Amino acid sequence: MVRRLLISLLTVTALASTTACSNETSPAAPSAEADVTTALRRADLPEGAFRDRAEELAQEWLDNNIMTGDARLDAGSLEGRLSKSALQTFVKKQAAERLTGSEMPFDDVATESLPFADAVIKDVARVVALDGFVFADNPENTGLIEKDVREVLAFLGDTRTLDVAKVKGTTVDVDNDPERRFAVTAWVFVNRETKAFAWFFAREGTI
């Protein structure tokens, strides 16, 4: 009788141990949904001088561009965890969405992180002027765009707090020249303390 009770007790203990082990959960693998939730997201700037001036200049760029290129600027605030890779993904996403709005592909895409430097500002101004506005390559034309770029970036504050990401690629303008690949370039400058950003975009066009 005692032997039977011992055997029954051992059996119950073993079953309880097996059940406890089966209820333990292992760490879940990262999911695509997790990647989405950690991506940087654009938010509007609060009302004020920065928002007003950025919107004004963006409209001026749109109104003054009579060529087939595309020159855009935007300013806002970033939500999410800021990192070099996240900023590269953001600038690529913004450029792709701009092209998608015009039903254009975004191919040959390459992104990079850049240290803030005066040379970067000049690069933005030159590419936007020559590709986006299809201006002639001279100091007067690039100087006009550089003035706008510097004015917007001044709202971001201390340049030592700025991170920069750049994306380059190509697209096809089916309506104007379906046989040619056109350059696409965009930059984002973000203040890593306030997360305010400025974004500049240029799609090459023709006269």
Per-residue confidence (pLDDT) for residue 198, from 0 to 100: 98
User: What are the structural domain ranges in the chain?
Assistant: 32-203
Starting at the earlier edge strand, list the strands of the sheet with 107-114: 41-43, 70-79, 196-203, 177-191, 162-173, 107-114
Q: Global pTM? A: 0.82
Which residue, 150, 15, 174, is CA-closest to 102?
A: 174
Question: How crowded is residue 178: how many other Cβ atoms within 10 Å of its Cβ?
Answer: 8
Which residue, 93, 64, 71, 99, is CA-closest to 181?
A: 99
Per-residue confidence (pLDDT) for residue 38, from 0 to 100: 67
Per-residue confidence (pLDDT) for residue 171, from 0 to 100: 97
Residue with tokens 């089916």: 174
Per-residue confidence (pLDDT) for residue 90, from 0 to 100: 98
Q: Tell me if residue 171 falls in helix, strand or coil.
A: strand
* Ranges of the chain whose pLDDT falls below 50: 1-37
- Token reading at 38: 């950690």
- Token reading at 85: 């890779």
Residue with tokens 């701009």: 98
Q: pLDDT tens digits, residue range 193-207? A: 999 999 999 999 998
Per-residue confidence (pLDDT) for residue 126, from 0 to 100: 98
Per-residue confidence (pLDDT) for residue 127, from 0 to 100: 98
Contacts of 107 (CB under 8 A, 6+ apart): 169, 170, 171, 181
CATH no., domain 32-203: 3.40.1000
Per-residue confidence (pLDDT) for residue 104, from 0 to 100: 95
As a dihedral over the C-alpha atoms of residue 63, residue 66, residue 68, residue 73, rounded to 10 degrees, the angle is -30
